[in-house]
Amino acid sequence: MSTLGRLSRSDKSFKRGCGFSPVSDSGARADDNLRTGHTGVFEGDTRMAKGTTAWACACTFVVVLILGAAHGAYAHHSFAMFDNENQIKLQGKVTHFQWTNPHVYIEVDAASVYSEDKTVKNWTIECANPGILNRIGWKFNMIKPGDEVTIIVAPLRSGEPGALLKQVTLPDGRVFANGGPAGPALIQ
């Protein structure tokens, strides 16, 4: 059975859709806002011929543009589903490394280092997108199935084996963070 096959239904939605605050939905909303703002600018110019209205529309448009761009480039969905205050350290073997937008994913058969419960579960670890990770030194092929890794994460509040990456230590000892928006590891 594939790794994905072992994930529960909700895990899959976590992975595929960023389901908690859907990517596509928020993306669509941003687009709608952009379109609305755009129309506003032109209508303000031609129909109203009122400087203030046009400026107000133009400002709204610019603000929406900036917010939209920031949203796309960084936290394109909320991190609310991850428990940042109770980070955990996982140790185990990579089963899959997925270098894709909007998120890179590490799947790892791992157990919690500091927990009494040493049950190995197949964790799906959400990372930033390839662009952000490239800029902080990640490479698309730097993690392979079978690699023994140590990972610090903010786990899903739901208790399922999904998490947001904070820090990963590779077999050769190199340590990588997950880029700014995800925030730093609070434990070691």
Shortest separation between residue 44's beta carbon and Cu ion, angstroms: 34
Could you say whether residue 18 binds Cu ion (CB under 5 A)? yes
Determine the longest span between alpha carbons in the chain, in angstroms.
70
d(CA 45, CA 29): 25
**Between 61 and 82, CB nearer to Cu ion:** 82
Structure token digits, residue 138 = 């990640």
- Select from 17-25, 33-41, 133-141, 159-167 the region that touches Cu ion (CB under 5 A): 17-25
15 interacts with Cu ion by CB under 5 A: no
Distance CA 158, CA 81 (A): 8
Question: x/- contact string, 19-38, with Cu ion (CB under 5 A)?
Answer: ----x---------------
Stretch binding Cu ion (CB under 5 A), from 24-32, 70-78, 137-145, 166-174:
70-78
Q: Phi and psi (nearest 5°) for 48?
A: -80, -35
SS3 for 126? Answer: strand
How far is residue 15 from each of residues 9, 91, 102, 159, 160, measured CA to CA in Å?
10, 20, 10, 15, 12
Nearer to Cu ion, 25 or 32 (CB): 25
Residue 87: CB atoms within 10 A of its CB come to 21
Pick from 14, 30, 41, 77 the residue near Cu ion by CB under 5 A.
77
Nearest distance in Å: CB 16, Cu ion? 10
CA distance 41 to 117: 59
Instruction: With contacts defined by CB under 5 A, name the span among 58-66, 71-79, 128-136, 179-187 that binds Cu ion.
Output: 71-79
C-beta of 27: minimal distance to Cu ion in Å?
A: 10
What is the distance between the alpha carbons of residues 48 and 55, in angstroms, rounded to a whole number? Answer: 12
Which residue number, 80 or 187, has a Cβ lying nearer to Cu ion? 80
Give the interface with Cu ion as residue ranges (CB under 5 A).
18, 23, 77
